[in-house]
Structure 1
């Protein structure tokens, strides 16, 4: 199966130019396009929400994917590398019409993928280094990093309504019910329960033991 993949960032852009270019490329290779996949989405969008992700899952060994340029797969090199890695792992042939890249099971393709992977790793390291340098500079300038103290968070909602939360749990309300009621995640509730409810229960048990010792001494 040979698939032509078309992507634009906005609905105002035209997909026809990409389609014409892929058709010319396919004709030069004596390929017949079996299917077209088009989507209007930013290349930075989460891969799980893209048609391309589902397309790669369906494609099998020996299938071919054609795009006009490598940036149609994604705007970040690391994502491009991940997509290329999936293609190589599943033995899917990938062609780009503008750059004339050919990614198949040949040794040349593997060398090219290695080169892309090396560049992607360098890019990740540079981004990490720039981020650390920027944070260090802000810290040196006296800027407070992280969330400001006293800022309102989801945790504050539970803390401010602790008695209601405890009452709901005593009334056999589920954790899901509590989370939905206060519009918080289960992770936030778990942190709240460990930090506040567990402490309160420990204090209550301690008070009970103290009262029992007091009665015995009477």
Structure 2
């Protein structure tokens, strides 16, 4: 059965925590919605997606579920991260609601022109963000190479940021999440994830 999950995150201000919950409850009451589960935490946006339980949130949300936040900034530490997360949710047929921005995006409602437009915009912004990151990376590598610095990690087996996350990666793959989106959730590059799967997981 579809569920509605409310995500509430604060840094330190307890009053802001109460305000977010009030805004969500007030909105849901007006729209005839019921919050089935609250995901509440006090943590800085500078922490990783895993620490902010974003990866847990994505894992628990299924098609036809609904995610409600008081505002977009609760979800990520950068515009790019928020855009990519919303794109991932809409790809998985999860309805997304951000109260402050008056966003209600439902990819399964073919008659909702606003949702169609917003999904297209977020898709384009996500693609633009990836292109900009790629361009900055290439420029940085070119400068480093020009200065005589070695590019990339030494060849051969070594420690990876993904060590210990094999089960989590397998779960995402089994659920049909693309490698590009898994990389975003785990806060690594696509190449890092792809190499990890090839070198450490496919050999097991």
Distance 1:116 1:44 in 2: 23
Q: 1:106 aligns with which of 90, 105, 109?
A: 109
Is the 2:87–2:123 contact (alpha carbons within 8 Å) kept by the matching residues of 1?
no
Q: 1:22 to 1:120 in 2, by over 3 A?
A: same
Deviation of 1:2 after TM superposition, in Å, equals 1.9
Q: Which residue of 2 aligns with 1:21?
A: 23
Q: Which residue of 2 aligns with 1:52?
A: 54
Distance 2:46 2:119 in 1: 21
Deviation of 1:98 after TM superposition, in Å, equals 0.6
1:27-38 alignment runs, 5 A limit: 27-38=29-40
1:189-208 alignment runs, 5 A limit: none
Q: 1:146 to 1:11 in 2, by over 3 A?
A: farther
Q: Which residue of 2 aligns with 1:187?
A: 157
Deviation of 1:83 after TM superposition, in Å, equals 2.5
In terms of fraction of residues, the more helix-rich structure is: 1
Q: Which has the higher contact order (CA 8 A, sep 6+)?
A: 2
Deviation of 1:43 after TM superposition, in Å, equals 3.4
Could you tell me which runs of 5 or more consecutive residues in structure 2 were left unpaired when the two chains were aligned: 160-204
Q: Which residue of 1 aligns with 2:66?
A: 64
Answer with 123-132 or 68-77: which moved more: 123-132
Q: Which residue of 1 aligns with 2:185?
A: none
CA RMSD of aligned residues (A): 3.2
TM-score by length of 1: 0.55
Deviation of 1:15 after TM superposition, in Å, equals 0.9
